[in-house]
Structure 1
Amino acid sequence: MIIGTAGHIDHGKTALIGALTGVDTDRLKEEKARGISIDLGFAYLPSEAGILGFIDVPGHERFIHTMLAGASGIDFALLVVAADDGVMLQTREHLAILDLLGVSRGLVALTKADLADDARRAAVSVEIAEVLKGTALDGAPVLAVSAQTGEGIAELRAALVAAAASFSAERQHADFGARFRLSVDRSFALSGAGTVVTGTVVSGVVAVGDRVTVSPTGLPARVRSIHAQNRPAARGVTGDRCALNLAGDSITAQAIARGDVVLDPSLLSPTDRMDASLRVLGSEPKPLGTWFPARLHHGAVEVGARVVPLETEALAPGSYGLVQLVLERPIAAAVRDRFVLRDTSAQRTIGGGRFIDLRAPARKRRTPERLALLAAGGVADPATALARLVELPPYYLDLDAFARDRALAADAPAALAAELKLATLAVGGTTLALSAARWTALGEEIGTALAAYHAANPDLAGIGVEKLRMELGVRLPKPAFLVALARLAAEGMLAVEGGWARLAGHEVRLTRGDELLWEAIAPMLAGPERFRPPRVRDIAGRLGEPEADIRRLFKLLSRLGKVDEVAHDHFFLRPVVSVMVGHARTLASDGEFSAAAFRDRIEHGEHAVGRKVAIQILEFFDRHGVTLRRGDLRRINRHRLDLFGAVDEPPAALLAVQGGGGADVSASAREANGEESYLR
């Protein structure tokens, strides 16, 4: 159990720890010379309830920031009040800090009891009881002690041992499965060992040989050795006072500062903007308005901050509320961690609270939707918080980030998803979670949207994936949405083709008008002109139809796989494209071929293809990877030969169509070209 002192300067905190442990925690020359504590001091007391660790904090008002660095890691408060002085200014401020940090175990040592008679002791005890009212230490016992005479020391030691035994029993049931964090309060170089950092293990377990990271700097390190509760150990666990001997390329005593956090590498995600709950002390003279300046203390770190109330324009003294904290620099933190705010002149404590969201938005931070998320996210139990969050807009949550920001165990995302029966979408190292009901509703909404689109656009193959995503009530990020569509496709509900989505049973059918128009156009793309069909404008001129209508129909036929746009507004029948691929493969049987050779292969008679069209066709093949160009020559990519249909056998029953600008090709000519005629 870690015991922390608290109290006014010169009330005998250091002397009391010396009487209990035999250790003088004032280790600095200046401390010895001035007779006051300036930095944190540490001492240990072996007992039948385990090793009791003591953190001695300064009592002077100038060193409250140091007191906060020590108080953030304690399990039990030893509030010290001198019998001759009674309750003083720093007694009250230290007590307020303990209350803000949630320290609920403790007792009061009435020190210098040898300087007070029974009446004075009784009066100060009444004063102490009055000060404790309404705090986490309300009703704590008061024991009169004297470091000079030894009065009450044995009784105090017995009370601390009893408290440690009770604490140890509770700790056996604690969950050490959270990921490791240690708040650094000292960093120094030790001869023969290297860099050593000390602090309290905030969560999880660390073992010799573990890989860790220093946050927020991101320096990687390895744990060479551990001292836990002042003894060599193979590991340190939650609540232990530990010294870690760290090794790494950039690890030095100067590279790690008080306030840094040594943690599991997966937790590295420092933040400089978070939403939190805040309690303002009643002693604060004025309300806290927007952009109120303060000093934030969290663990052993101290950093400048601005406070933005979220529910009102200002937080009045003695009130609670939600705030956004904008920091001068990033820090390592976790959801539900406690913090304390002090004024910028370091003269008073303003208030304190807990972090709720470490990824707070800079805009729209006061909307009802945002406040609802904070109300859900502030719940202590992770499963309850998660269950509430996925029922609020945007109706999904990054499960891995949720577990990381709460420092939960590595297997927590999978365990929470199983416990709550969540639907998960894994993409790019991120796992998004939705409630089972929301996932079912999303599938139904997608099905309804596709059915409505097909009814309104029967001539289209499907709706654009991005357009579909933007129309839904649950707007998943695009990568996750693609994963969702793939899952629904695997279930047989829909099909995704390129950037289009459709219901599994949907088939595009041309309108009667488009069918009639296609019947007039198809002969123009067949027969003798098949390797050089007329362009959109030529077809429109021949039929007397608007050019836009012809182009629209070709685009639709292209999506249906009936034609291919080889060049702008130049469409070829798909079976013809397949035949041309076959010609290219034949030419490439001996290696590479030229554009001229390809032109000569496909043109015949009076219907010359021409070099320009031949090159356009080959560039179309290049774009699709059917041919691979090297200078003026090309070779075939055999892995893409079937892109436009099988080429091992020419398309069956190709029928040359009379009219439209040329006579039928004789069977002998077709045989010579290795082709057959084709259907429209």
Structure 2
Amino acid sequence: MLIGTAGHIDHGKTTLVRALTGVDTTHLPEEKARGITIELGYAYAPLEQAPGDAAGAASSLGFIDVPGHERFVPTMLMGAAGIDYALLVVAADDGVMPQTREHLAILHLLGIERGALALSKCDRASPARVAEVEAQITSLLAPTRLAGSPIFALSAVSGIGVDALRTHLHALARSESQRSTDAGFRLVADRRFALAGAGTIITGTVHAGVVHVGDKLLLARPDGFRREVRVRALRVSNRKADSGGPGSRCAVNLSGIDYGEIERGDWLLHPALARATERLDLRLHLLPEASRKLGQWASVTLHHPAGHAMARLALLDDTLEAGGLAPGRSALVQAVLDRPVFACSGDRIVIRDAAGRETLGGGAVLDPFPAARHRRRPARLALLSALEQAEPASRLAAVLASAANGLDLEELTAAHNLPDARWQALLPDARQVSTKMGGRIFSATAWADLGETVLARLTAHHEAFADEPGVERERLRRMCAQQLPPAVFLARLEELLAEGRIARAGSAWHLPSHTVELSAADREKADALLARLQAGAFDPPWVRELAAACTLSETEVRSLLRRIALRGEAFQVVRDLFYARATVAQMCALAVELAAGEDGRIRAADFRDRIGGGRKRAIQILEFFDRVGFTRRVGDGQHRAHVLRGEAPAHDEA
């Protein structure tokens, strides 16, 4: 169990931790000289297992000692994130002071619901004064999550009352049940150093998941810094261990990185969670004692588990029409950050004014990857309200039900920190589609609706264009679900095809009942055109040249070529330039060969050399490959190139 201290400067937090554990948490010369805490301090006390202890009960009690000075509130916030239990310290002689109130407010905003009050320095106050301050504290705690917490009158110097607090804390720790571990691992590095014979070590509190010796993880910053690392060794609560779970204080010995590359606030996490964001949708609560209301686009400092960022707040609900978020009220907001962060749904945040002098409020992240547009639509607000539900299955079901085009599986994992096995258990009826570009999941209703939309669009098209064999796949995707990735849409079409609900003729998708054949005369003309395209190989004749050679009008040639293109016998690369199917297959094979090079890139100059002709023609063909999903353009100018997408290759269209 991890306990975090809180309270005003010089109220005896560090002295009390030393009395409880025997460890002095101050380590900086300045701290010792000034007698105050500046940096986070850590101490541990072993627990003796008693008969009847819960299975897996804690073997040690951990303390995080935080600074009490107003200037160091950001440090206090970083230390308080992830604690299990709060120990609020108030000196009997001083009573409740400004940082007492601010630290208590922060504990409330961080969602910490369990704690105790240490009424310190009782040997310096009269019994009447002790009773008076105890009454103040009871009143102060009443509107917070810590209402009703036990109060221990004590003196850390003389030892009065310390044993009673120690007994209470040890009993809690022994009965503490383990937090859920079925999530990806997340830890924020609050210290880093190198140890002779061991190498790089970071310390931090485990926010989620479990780390094991031998794990391969990512040491990352949201600005793009990434290092693959391996866990060489672990110490949990200052003891050698094989694993560390949620709430544990861990020292992690890493290989694959030099300690000089690591910064405070870096994340050690599962690679799937290293997805940065600059927007957060939140449920934000403004403290009753906040000095002002927050209007649209108010500037604040947003504190998160790894540090802080400047943010501007967009009000999403009817708070905007009411003129702003008033003290003591809550609202749905979107925080637009000045720098990227890593965040998951459920993370707690605290906001202070832009100057960082006053704590204004806080809340929980609902969606770490929100869209910038349409953020106030009723459906979006309803989804955010659903995300506030405590039960994970209900939250995920609401998210999935709101996504007509399904959800990117990587984004879902990163947003909710849900490994595959976990979301599959929570959403047993969800439909997963796997492609080489990644996975996507749909609700059963959305998947069925997509199929019905395809059938409806094809029916309408056949009625309007009875002489056309069907609709080319990419055009059909734009008609049905333009935002859906091509490979996912293809998977839906192929399932409908396997079920016999649709059919395909070349590149044209159609209903099974719809048939269009070329007349004998048109078939003869089409064959003549195809023969000339095939003879032209990588440099086929243009429409005007075909028209002249076959003594047909350009309009008739163009119409015939488009019809046979829908049948998959040819492909239109640019206006009035068609390639035979066999030639396109050859060019796809050449592109695959070029992509097998060291950097995996296909450059126009190299492709030109393989097919002959000019650079312009090579670019036209590569851009055609981009359009049909066979390749993807990367870079610009002299660095422009194309890479294989691994989906929907052009020569498989027929």
TM-score in terms of structure 1 length: 0.75
| 1:306 aligned residue | 312
Q: Does 1:89 align with 2:98?
A: yes
| 1:636 aligned residue | none
8 Å contact kept, 1:259–1:302: no
**Superimposed CA distance per residue, residues 593-612 of structure 1 (whole angstroms, 9 cap, x where no aligned partner):** xxxxxxxxxxxxxxxxxxxx
8 Å contact kept, 2:469–2:505: no
In the alignment, the residues of structure 1 paired with residue 128 and residue 192 of structure 2 have an alpha-carbon distance, to the nearest angstrom, of 47
Q: CA deviation at 1:563?
A: 11
Letter in 1 for 2:442: L
Instruction: Pick closer, same or farther for the CA change 1:53–1:363 going to 2, 3 Å.
Output: same
SS in 1 for 2:338: strand
In the alignment, the residues of structure 1 paired with residue 385 and residue 482 of structure 2 have an alpha-carbon distance, to the nearest angstrom, of 21
In the alignment, the residues of structure 1 paired with residue 527 and residue 20 of structure 2 have an alpha-carbon distance, to the nearest angstrom, of 105
In the alignment, the residues of structure 1 paired with residue 370 and residue 561 of structure 2 have an alpha-carbon distance, to the nearest angstrom, of 50
8 Å contact kept, 1:535–1:569: no
Pairing partner for 2:293 from 273, 287, 294: 287
In the alignment, the residues of structure 2 paired with residue 44 and residue 109 of structure 1 have an alpha-carbon distance, to the nearest angstrom, of 18
| 2:374 aligned residue | 364
Letter in 2 for 1:182: L
Instruction: Pick closer, same or farther for the CA change 1:509–1:224 going to 2, 3 Å.
Output: closer
8 Å contact kept, 2:526–2:561: no
In the alignment, the residues of structure 1 paired with residue 331 and residue 372 of structure 2 have an alpha-carbon distance, to the nearest angstrom, of 18
| 2:30 aligned residue | 30
| 2:188 aligned residue | 183
| 2:604 aligned residue | none
Pairing partner for 1:478 from 475, 481, 486: 486
8 Å contact kept, 1:215–1:331: no
| 1:270 aligned residue | 276
In the alignment, the residues of structure 2 paired with residue 500 and residue 376 of structure 1 have an alpha-carbon distance, to the nearest angstrom, of 41
8 Å contact kept, 2:403–2:446: no
| 1:595 aligned residue | none
Pairing partner for 2:512 from 504, 509, 518: 504
Instruction: Pick closer, same or farther for the CA change 1:569–1:9 going to 2, 3 Å.
Output: closer
| 1:396 aligned residue | 406
**Superimposed CA distance per residue, residues 545-572 of structure 1 (whole angstroms, 9 cap, x where no aligned partner):** x87457535754675699999xx9999x
Pairing partner for 2:395 from 385, 390, 393: 385
| 1:408 aligned residue | 418
Letter in 1 for 2:38: I
Q: CA deviation at 1:61?
A: 0.6
Instruction: Pick closer, same or farther for the CA change 1:13–1:560 going to 2, 3 Å.
Output: closer
8 Å contact kept, 2:506–2:569: no
In the alignment, the residues of structure 1 paired with residue 169 and residue 478 of structure 2 have an alpha-carbon distance, to the nearest angstrom, of 62
In the alignment, the residues of structure 1 paired with residue 150 and residue 517 of structure 2 have an alpha-carbon distance, to the nearest angstrom, of 86
| 2:133 aligned residue | 124
Q: Does 1:205 align with 2:210?
A: yes
Q: CA deviation at 1:465?
A: 2.1
Spell out the pairing of 1:636-647 with structure 2 (5 A cutoff): none
Instruction: Pick closer, same or farther for the CA change 1:32–1:556 going to 2, 3 Å.
Output: closer
Q: Does 1:353 align with 2:356?
A: no
In the alignment, the residues of structure 2 paired with residue 215 and residue 523 of structure 1 have an alpha-carbon distance, to the nearest angstrom, of 59
| 2:41 aligned residue | 41
Q: Does 1:51 align with 2:57?
A: no
| 1:223 aligned residue | 231
Letter in 2 for 1:381: E
Pairing partner for 1:194 from 195, 199, 222: 199
Letter in 1 for 2:288: G
Q: CA deviation at 1:327?
A: 2.1
In the alignment, the residues of structure 2 paired with residue 399 and residue 570 of structure 1 have an alpha-carbon distance, to the nearest angstrom, of 39
In the alignment, the residues of structure 1 paired with residue 18 and residue 251 of structure 2 have an alpha-carbon distance, to the nearest angstrom, of 22
Letter in 2 for 1:436: A
SS in 1 for 2:17: helix
Q: CA deviation at 1:540?
A: 7.5
In the alignment, the residues of structure 2 paired with residue 95 and residue 391 of structure 1 have an alpha-carbon distance, to the nearest angstrom, of 38
Q: CA deviation at 1:473?
A: 6.5
| 1:237 aligned residue | 245
Q: Does 1:342 align with 2:342?
A: no
SS in 2 for 1:481: helix
In the alignment, the residues of structure 2 paired with residue 42 and residue 52 of structure 1 have an alpha-carbon distance, to the nearest angstrom, of 11
Q: CA deviation at 1:241?
A: 0.8
SS in 1 for 2:461: helix
| 2:267 aligned residue | 261
SS in 2 for 1:388: helix
Q: CA deviation at 1:139?
A: 0.7
In the alignment, the residues of structure 2 paired with residue 57 and residue 414 of structure 1 have an alpha-carbon distance, to the nearest angstrom, of 40
Instruction: Pick closer, same or farther for the CA change 1:228–1:469 going to 2, 3 Å.
Output: same
Letter in 1 for 2:5: T
Letter in 1 for 2:490: L
In the alignment, the residues of structure 1 paired with residue 485 and residue 561 of structure 2 have an alpha-carbon distance, to the nearest angstrom, of 33
**Superimposed CA distance per residue, residues 160-207 of structure 1 (whole angstroms, 9 cap, x where no aligned partner):** 1122123x2x32xx3212111112211122233222111111111111
SS in 2 for 1:289: coil
SS in 1 for 2:190: strand
SS in 2 for 1:315: coil
Instruction: Pick closer, same or farther for the CA change 1:32–1:501 going to 2, 3 Å.
Output: same
8 Å contact kept, 1:290–1:308: yes
| 2:559 aligned residue | 552
Instruction: Pick closer, same or farther for the CA change 1:450–1:158 going to 2, 3 Å.
Output: same
8 Å contact kept, 1:68–1:300: no
| 2:164 aligned residue | 155
8 Å contact kept, 1:219–1:251: no
Q: Aligned residues, how many?
A: 558
In the alignment, the residues of structure 1 paired with residue 355 and residue 258 of structure 2 have an alpha-carbon distance, to the nearest angstrom, of 33
Q: Using the TM superposition, name which of 313-322 and 349-358 deviates more.
A: 313-322
| 2:77 aligned residue | 68
8 Å contact kept, 2:286–2:361: yes
Spell out the pairing of 1:264-663 with structure 2 (5 A cutoff): 264-311=270-317, 312-313=319-320, 314-417=324-427, 419=428, 421-472=429-480, 476-509=484-517, 536=547, 548=555, 552=559, 555-556=562-563
SS in 1 for 2:164: helix
Q: Using the TM superposition, name which of 197-206 and 491-500 deviates more.
A: 491-500
| 1:613 aligned residue | none
In the alignment, the residues of structure 2 paired with residue 570 and residue 95 of structure 1 have an alpha-carbon distance, to the nearest angstrom, of 72
The unaligned stretches of length 5 or more in structure 2 are 50-58, 530-534, 536-544, 583-620, 622-650
In the alignment, the residues of structure 2 paired with residue 134 and residue 108 of structure 1 have an alpha-carbon distance, to the nearest angstrom, of 15
Q: Does 1:111 align with 2:117?
A: no
| 2:4 aligned residue | 4
SS in 1 for 2:67: coil
Instruction: Pick closer, same or farther for the CA change 1:398–1:551 going to 2, 3 Å.
Output: closer
In the alignment, the residues of structure 2 paired with residue 403 and residue 240 of structure 1 have an alpha-carbon distance, to the nearest angstrom, of 23
SS in 2 for 1:441: helix
8 Å contact kept, 1:260–1:332: no
**Superimposed CA distance per residue, residues 531-589 of structure 1 (whole angstroms, 9 cap, x where no aligned partner):** 9xx96579878xxxx87457535754675699999xx9999x99xx9xxxxxxxxxxxx
Instruction: Pick closer, same or farther for the CA change 1:207–1:553 going to 2, 3 Å.
Output: closer
In the alignment, the residues of structure 2 paired with residue 9 and residue 522 of structure 1 have an alpha-carbon distance, to the nearest angstrom, of 89
| 2:602 aligned residue | none
Instruction: Pick closer, same or farther for the CA change 1:519–1:321 going to 2, 3 Å.
Output: closer
SS in 2 for 1:108: strand
In the alignment, the residues of structure 2 paired with residue 146 and residue 415 of structure 1 have an alpha-carbon distance, to the nearest angstrom, of 51
SS in 2 for 1:42: strand
Letter in 2 for 1:251: D
In the alignment, the residues of structure 2 paired with residue 569 and residue 303 of structure 1 have an alpha-carbon distance, to the nearest angstrom, of 54
In the alignment, the residues of structure 2 paired with residue 523 and residue 146 of structure 1 have an alpha-carbon distance, to the nearest angstrom, of 100
Letter in 2 for 1:481: F
In the alignment, the residues of structure 2 paired with residue 78 and residue 268 of structure 1 have an alpha-carbon distance, to the nearest angstrom, of 33
| 2:14 aligned residue | 14
